[in-house]
Amino acid sequence: MAIDIQKIRSDFPILERKIYNKPLVYFDNAATTQKPQCVVNTIVNNYYNCNANIHRGVHFLSQQSTEAHENARKTVQNFIGAKNSNEIIFTRGTTEAINLVAHSFGISQCNDGDEIIVTQMEHHSNIVPWQLLQQIKDIKLRVIPFDEKGVLQIDQLEKLINKKTKLIAVTHVSNALGTVNPIEKIIKIAHSQDIPVLVDGAQSAPHTPINVQDLDVDFYAFSGHKVYGPTGIGVLYGKEKWLEKIPPYQGGGEMIQNVSFEKTTFNELPFKFEAGTPDYIGSTALAAALNYVSEIGMQNIADYEHELLRYATDKLTQIDGLRIIGESPQKSGLISFLVGQIHPYDMGTILDKLGIAVRTGHHCAEPVMKAFNIDGTIRASFAIYNTKEEIDILASGIERAAKMFRK
């Protein structure tokens, strides 16, 4: 199916904006995507017509609101191909989802001396939660390195695994390099030794079809705001057998069955992991976003963004002095780069004045920057509403900035 890009663009009101009197060219999609009208409408409509706290309310609005929230859970279940809707936990985002696993899995399944394997290209949100666990348990982090192109050295994995390995926690797609990691292979290797795998899907769920049952992944986390949904809502998928086994992450309302000062019993899945009033407006708006992308088709989105990546790589490599950081043959739609000796911040500032939004810095992946011996990069990341014409604007903007610095 060919994508009707003009129709898609018209669904995103913000793309009409002018920045410094120039048309907005938004290439900061790996940080957060813009929202289609249907997502904004869902939020407004819910607050105007259907707002009431969910679960246990006897009145009409509460029941309607509860139904919308639980239907949203089913939409997420279908979107990632989970077996049961009780395996879908709503969180604030990928970060909270990983913190949940690090805490609940960590305190219940890890003993002193155990090891967790991560990769050298993790976002800080898949490093720091494990270091927080180290304050409670004497665990060790082992790291799968990547090579000079940013490809994970998967042959190292089997050497890192031993009897003390309790979990492998890997990013599906690197937000700093664009590398797509072979998670199918990692999961197979891990499972052959009975080790569960957590996949950080923050940069994959928005860009490629995901089926957690086909992958046989144990935990999969993603953020709503990167997949055209609202901020403040995300998802942790966990296999039922693991979610049953591990204790709650936070305590409060909703997650209990009975409470007394002597003893509390916990609610069933998924509520055991959803303490307090959930973001039921966010969940329904996330469902609207997932329905929106599903209608376009995740494979169509993946194909289109790959075409953008190919085009942009070709264009940008023609620029004198431009160096791409992250040249894995398997890449998602983002390009990290440097131009000569120009500081990323300076390049980003000039591009901004041309209406082009890119991200500069370490992208919350300082170990990646360290490996390349750089402070940061400029990152252009693509979404379904971007066009080749916008990539041309980016390329000529970079040329213009480079010329200014050469003078």
Q: Which residues bind to ligand PMP, rule: CB under 6 A? A: 30, 93-95, 123, 125, 171, 175, 200, 202-203, 223, 364
CA distances (Å), 358 to each of 175, 355, 378, in order?
13, 10, 7
Around Cβ 112, how many Cβ atoms within 10 Å? 9
Q: Point out the catalytic residue in the list 38, 50, 110, 364.
A: 364
Q: Which is nearer to ligand PMP, 22 or 124 (CB)?
A: 124
To ligand PMP, the closest distance from the beta carbon of 126 in angstroms equals: 6
To ligand PMP, the closest distance from the beta carbon of 122 in angstroms equals: 8
To ligand PMP, the closest distance from the beta carbon of 72 in angstroms equals: 18
Q: Which is nearer to ligand PMP, 30 or 395 (CB)?
A: 30
| Single-letter code of the amino acid located at 371 | A
Give the pair of three-digit tokens for residue 244.
């049953």
Q: Is 364 a catalytic site residue?
A: yes
Q: Is 323 exposed, middle or buried (0-12, 13-18, 19+ CB in 10 A)?
A: middle
Q: Which is nearer to ligand PMP, 93 or 238 (CB)?
A: 93
Q: What are the backbone angles phi and psi of residue 224, rounded to the nearest 5°? A: -65, -40
Q: Determine contact, residues 319/398, Cβ cutoff 8 Å.
A: yes
To ligand PMP, the closest distance from the beta carbon of 236 in angstroms equals: 11
Q: Which is nearer to ligand PMP, 65 or 99 (CB)?
A: 99
Of 296, 263, 308, nearest to 12 by C-alpha is: 296
Of 110, 192, 181, nearest to 152 by C-alpha is: 181
Q: What are the backbone angles phi and psi of residue 222, rounded to the nearest 5°? A: -150, 165
Q: Which is nearer to ligand PMP, 11 or 200 (CB)?
A: 200
CA distances (Å), 199 to each of 41, 174, 180, 204, 256, in order?
31, 11, 12, 10, 28
Q: Which is nearer to ligand PMP, 110 or 202 (CB)?
A: 202
CA distances (Å), 337 to each of 317, 326, 377, 404, in order?
10, 8, 5, 18
To ligand PMP, the closest distance from the beta carbon of 28 in angstroms equals: 11
Residues for the chain: how many in total?
A: 407
Q: Which is nearer to ligand PMP, 212 or 354 (CB)?
A: 212
To ligand PMP, the closest distance from the beta carbon of 2 in angstroms equals: 29
Crossing angle of helices 298-317/280-296, nearest 10°?
A: 80
What is the C-alpha separation between 266 and 247, in angstroms, rounded? 9
| Alpha-carbon dihedral angle through residues 131, 114, 190, 213, given to the nearest 10 degrees | -60
To ligand PMP, the closest distance from the beta carbon of 125 in angstroms equals: 4
Q: Write out the catalytic residue numbers.
A: 364
